[in-house]
């Protein structure tokens, strides 16, 4: 009888794509994949180190695995496993901890699946994480996350990702296109491009710093792939989002008018303390450029509140900057101290209560921005890709420009594209619609 394996992923879309690749390596070894809530012989937890919360959740997930099967073998992989391997190894129930380079070879470490008194650690010096492993995730039938790049050469003072993932390196263009065609063959309608710093694509494509291809080359090549209806850029640094890329997306076959651009602060003083590679005026230029040529584009923004040295004046500068900017929603992160970062040593620490209050204010602003963006889309005709889950009797979907819609559950709509007219905003903030034409149904 084949052994069973279950996976739990914390963190970003990149982690989800890597979990899928790791899962496929188990399937090649004749393991049967089951849901994490089911009884399994092995539980693999792909960890995240970006927020304090992700660290705390790890122990809860280990307990959940032990509840499913007290004798199961528990392995921790991913960013937190690279940064704090010894800490994870001491968590009750953990048998194996694998760092950045070892996680893709996990099946090599599973000898007898005997429980260990203490977690066995295999973690490299992060300088050794200099090779690239391509991956993609198919979370549901409608979209796939395709990893094109890993690691980061930036030295933002609050961030542990370079310590957890190593230097910036890219998949070869040939391999990205191969993976994209494979996804297309599975009748998946949308690909979301992921990476740590995808605008840096091309660096390290040949195992060195040589650049043959750029992010724009990647985008142009993917746009030619048959069978993919939508391509979405997940998150891209403002200094690496070039005008040429924005212009190409505006006229492309498959790329959708949706950008997610990290800002982190609207105050130039704070941006300098964070060692970001741009100032607020460049960010304004990018937003204006997008909106000039794609007025209906959706623009999401990452922002951090409570960074050391952020005074009330700095925070209000950020608040007003975002309030006046033509953006669609925010992802708000409350700053949390991370070991081995420069920011953790900085003076003028912002009290946690103040951080929390600022976070709440920006989340309120985000709700207002999203509502205004949705209202601006009413009466327009958009194409919706419907998702596969029945949520309390409703089916949800997203327009190309990331407006979330809902309709009474109809399984025939799953993984199909339809033209709709957006008509009203429901009481839960989602958009209702009426079908315009069945001609684009796929």
CA-CA distance, 149 to 197, in Å (whole number)? 7
The DSSP 8-state label assigned to residue 120 in this structure reads E
Contacts of 173 (CB under 8 A, 6+ apart): 205, 212, 213, 217, 218, 221
Residue 441 is predicted with a pLDDT of 41
Would you call 252 exposed, middle or buried from its count of C-beta atoms within 10 A (0-12, 13-18, 19+)?
middle
Kindly list the distances between the CA atom of residue 100 and the CA atoms of 77, 104, 161, 164, in Å, as whole numbers in the listed order: 8, 8, 11, 7
Query: Which residues is 76 bridged to in the sheet?
Result: 45, 97
Give the Cα separation of 159 and 341 in Å (integer). 7
User: Tens digit of pLDDT for each residue in 12-67?
Assistant: 778 888 888 888 889 888 899 999 999 999 999 998 876 666 667 888 999 999 99
Residues of the chain with pLDDT under 70: 50-55, 111-119, 122-134, 139-141, 206-210, 437-442
Place of tokens 């040429």: 244
The predicted-structure confidence for 110-132, as pLDDT tens digits, reads as follows 765 555 555 677 655 555 555 66
- Of 374, 223, 200, 359, give the one whose Cα is nearest residue 298: 374
Contact present, 25 and 60 (Cβ < 8 Å): no
- CA distance linking residue 381 with residue 10, whole number of Å: 36
Percent of residues, the chain, with pLDDT higher than 90: 66
pLDDT confidence of residue 442: 39
CA distance linking residue 173 with residue 221, whole number of Å: 8
pTM: 0.84
pLDDT of residue 357: 97
Residues 6+ apart with CB under 8 A from 16: 9, 137, 139, 145
The rounded distance, in Å, linking the Cα atoms of 249 and 228 is: 15
Predicted local confidence at residue 81, as pLDDT: 85
DSSP string for residues in 351-394: PHHHHHHHHHHHHHHHHHHHHHHHHHHTT-EEEEEE-S--BTTE
Distances in Å between the Cα of 405 and the Cα atoms of 26, 69, 386, 395, 420 are: 36, 39, 9, 8, 10
What pLDDT, in 10s, does the model give residues 88-109?
Answer: 888 888 999 998 778 888 888 8
Q: Among candidates 87, 126, 79, 120, which has minimal Cα distance to 103?
A: 79
């Amino acid at each position: 009888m084949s052994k069973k394996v279950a996976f739990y992923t914390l963190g970003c879309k990149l982690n989800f794509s890597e979990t899928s690749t790791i899962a496929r390596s188990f399937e090649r070894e004749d393991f049967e994949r089951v849901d994490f809530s089911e009884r399994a012989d092995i539980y693999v937890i792909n960890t995240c180190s970006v927020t304090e919360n992700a660290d705390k959740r790890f122990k809860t997930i280990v307990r959940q695995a032990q509840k499913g099967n007290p004798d199961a073998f528990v392995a921790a992989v991913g960013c937190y496993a690279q940064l704090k391997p010894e800490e994870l190894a001491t968590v009750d129930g953990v048998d194996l901890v694998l760092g950045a380079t070892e996680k893709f070879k996990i099946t090599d470490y599973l000898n007898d699946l005997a429980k260990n008194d203490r977690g066995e650690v295999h973690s490299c010096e992060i300088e050794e994480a200099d090779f690239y492993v391509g991956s993609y995730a198919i979370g549901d039938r409608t979209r796939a996350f395709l990893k094109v790049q890993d690691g980061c050469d930036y030295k933002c003072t609050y961030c542990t990702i370079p310590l957890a993932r190593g230097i910036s390196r890219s998949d070869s263009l040939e391999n990205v296109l191969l993976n994209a065609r494979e996804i297309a063959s599975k009748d998946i309608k949308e690909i979301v491009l992921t990476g740590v710093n995808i605008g840096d694509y091309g660096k390290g494509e040949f195992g060195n710093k040589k650049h043959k291809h750029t992010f724009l080359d990647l985008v142009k090549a993917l746009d030619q792939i048959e069978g993919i209806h939508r391509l979405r850029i997940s998150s891209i640094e403002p200094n690496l989002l070039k005008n040429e890329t924005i212009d190409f997306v505006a006229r492309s076959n498959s790329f959708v008018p949706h950008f997610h651009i990290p800002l982190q602060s609207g105050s130039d003083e704070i941006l300098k303390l964070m060692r970001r590679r741009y100032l607020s005026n460049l960010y304004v230029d990018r937003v204006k450029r997008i909106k000039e040529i794609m007025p209906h584009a959706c623009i999401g923004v990452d922002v951090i509140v409570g960074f050391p040295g952020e005074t009330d004046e700095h925070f209000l500068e950020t608040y007003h900057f975002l309030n006046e900017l033509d953006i669609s929603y925010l992802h708000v992160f409350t700053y949390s101290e991370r070991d081995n970062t420069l920011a953790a040593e900085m003076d003028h620490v912002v009290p946690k209560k103040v951080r929390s209050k600022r976070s709440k204010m920006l989340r309120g602003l985000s709700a207002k921005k999203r509502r205004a963006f949705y209202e601006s889309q009413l009466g327009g005709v958009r194409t919706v890709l419907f998702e596969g889950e029945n949520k309390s009797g409703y089916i949800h979907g997203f327009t190309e420009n990331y407006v979330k819609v809902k309709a009474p559950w109809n399984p025939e709509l799953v993984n199909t594209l339809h033209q709709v007219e957006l008509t009203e905003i429901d009481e839960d903030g989602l958009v209702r619609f009426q079908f315009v034409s069945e001609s684009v149904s796929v």
